[in-house]
Amino acid sequence: MLVRFTFKNHKSFLGEQTLSLEASNDEMMQHSIEKVSTALLPQSAGILRSAAIFGTTASGKTNVLRALDFMKRVVLMSATKVLIVRQVEPFAFLEGSIDMDSHYEVEFIENGIYYRYGFVIRSRRIVREWLFRRTERLTPLFRRDEYGLKVMGLSKNGAGMIAPSDSTLFLTVAGSLNLEINTAVQDVVSWFSKLTISLAPKRDDLFVFTQCGEYLPRALDILRKAECGIEHARLIHDGGYIDIETTHRVYGSGGDVTGAATSRMFQDDGMYSDGTRTLTCAVAQVVRALDEGGTLFINDFANTLNVFLASYILSLFNSDAGNPNGAQLVITGNISALIDKAFRRDQIHFVTRDEDGQSHLVRLSSIPGVRKSDSYEKKLIENAHVNQYKLT
């Protein structure tokens, strides 16, 4: 489970920002919280099963997801021939930002262990990297900077012999070596592998349904609640081609059912709206996250779905029965009535953009004067263009 994501100097964000999913001591909506041992998170009330990032158009909320997506791609691709580190996108409106630190760090729980992992890129080079683990106390497993590498269980000379290039993460190198920290490295890579950032749901997301025969029936159960006309469907998968074939009732002039017809969601134009296609692809990621216990980010989720369906999907994540494996859902969207219907104060983050073009990510529960009884939607609309929540 994701505990916290911290980043700075990425796209529209210059200063350090934090997306926290650690629950506050709020007694409201306790079903939204996954309890964790205080040995892992001292003095913690638990981890939130869902959260939302709201903001006005072009405020920068999607860039929060892009920052985490970039971090994931570096973790999974830094050892390949693709020089992913060079694709870093620092703050766009400051000359010389490429030579400033772009910082990425996640804190998460995997296999009952708390980890803190991160790295810093400067001038398109990895200049720092670290991994800590907590079972009873926080312990450094490795630390890397421009002057060298220190690894638990390895001598200074031994660490120097395996130090990676400045375009490759040590995390990636360590996974192929017989090191004392290998189990922890595997946990980190496994967590990132289960992390899904859906910036724009697309047809390729349907390949999720090929991974487990139960995924499509579960998705259909959700889609039926959307009343988008899908009652029965089957997966069409032929090599690189994938689609959903749906069955429709055919009615006679008297209104009685005279037969059935089939159509393919993506191949047959005019049968389904773009919104229905997008919803189907997003739901594919939802059922996989619930099954694997992964963390799922969906962009514009709150804008694509009606309030009823959005609330229903959130309720799946916010219940023991619907979410036995500790999955998390984080959504983005414009300010909407969904805020007051589905979230606690600590589940809501708000993005503003100031006169210098900088985006700022603020947790609603940290804003003075916002009470439990307030309309969160009204509070955010009132202050949507005010820079009073700028973090320093």
Query: What does the pLDDT look like over 209-260, one tens digit per residue?
Result: 999 999 999 999 998 887 776 778 899 999 889 999 988 777 777 778 787 7
Average pLDDT (326-336) is 86
d(CA 184, CA 151) in angstroms, rounded, equals 12
Secondary structure E strands in 44-161: 47-48, 50-55, 102-110, 113-122, 125-134, 138-145, 148-151
160 in the same domain as 270: no
pLDDT at 375 over 60: no
pLDDT in tens, 144-167: 999 899 999 988 888 888 888 899
From 245, 267, 292, the end of a domain falls on: 292
* DSSP letter (8 states) at residue 13: B
Q: Report the alpha-carbon distance of residue 60 to residue 13 in Å, rounded.
A: 8
Judge if 93 and 232 occupy the same domain. Answer: no
- Pure H helices in the chain: 61-77, 156-161, 170-174, 182-194, 215-225, 274-292, 301-304, 307-317, 338-342, 376-382
Q: Which of 233, 231, 242 is nearest to 203 (CA)?
A: 242
Pairing of strands 50-55, 328-333: parallel
Q: How many domains does the chain have?
A: 2
At residue 8 the predicted structure's pLDDT band, cuts being 50, 70 and 90, is: very high
The answer to whether residues 392 and 324 belong to one domain is yes
The Cα 237–Cα 243 span in angstroms is: 7
Task: Judge if 182 and 249 occupy the same domain.
Answer: no
Residues 341, 378 within the same domain: yes
The whole domain housing 238 covers: 203-292
pLDDT tens digits along 280-322: 999 999 999 999 999 999 998 867 677 778 888 999 999 999 9
Residue 349: which of 9, 359, 115, 25 has the closest Cα?
Answer: 359
Euclidean distance between CA atoms 116 and 292, whole angstroms: 21
Tell me the one-letter amino acid at 59: S
Chain center to CA of 251: 43
Residues 300 and 388 in one domain: yes
pLDDT at 383 (0 to 100): 58
Q: How far apart are CA 3 and CA 40, in angstroms?
A: 11
Looking at 292, 320, 341, the residue that finishes a domain is: 292
Q: Are residues 128 and 9 located together in one domain of the fold?
A: yes
- How remote is the C-alpha of 105 from its chain's centroid? 14
Calculate mean pLDDT across residues 181-196. 96
Q: What is the pTM of this model?
A: 0.91
DSSP state of 24: -
Tokens 């205080």 belong to residue: 38
- Give the range with max mean pLDDT: 19-33, 204-218, 304-318, 350-364: 204-218
Greatest pairwise CA separation for the chain in angstroms: 85
CATH of the domain at 313: 3.40.50
Using the predicted structure, report yes or no on whether residue 3 has a pLDDT greater than 80. yes
**34 and 58 housed in the same domain:** yes
pLDDT tens-digit profile of 84-136?
999 999 998 999 999 999 999 999 999 999 999 999 999 999 999 999 999 77
Residues 56 and 160 occupy one common structural domain: yes
Same-domain check for residues 106 and 156: yes
User: Strand, helix or coil at 206?
Assistant: helix
Compute the distance between CA of residue 65 and CA of residue 59 in angstroms, rounded to an integer: 13
Give the residue from 292, 324, 347 where a domain finishes: 292
Same domain, 226 and 152: no
Q: Are residues 61 and 179 located together in one domain of the fold?
A: yes
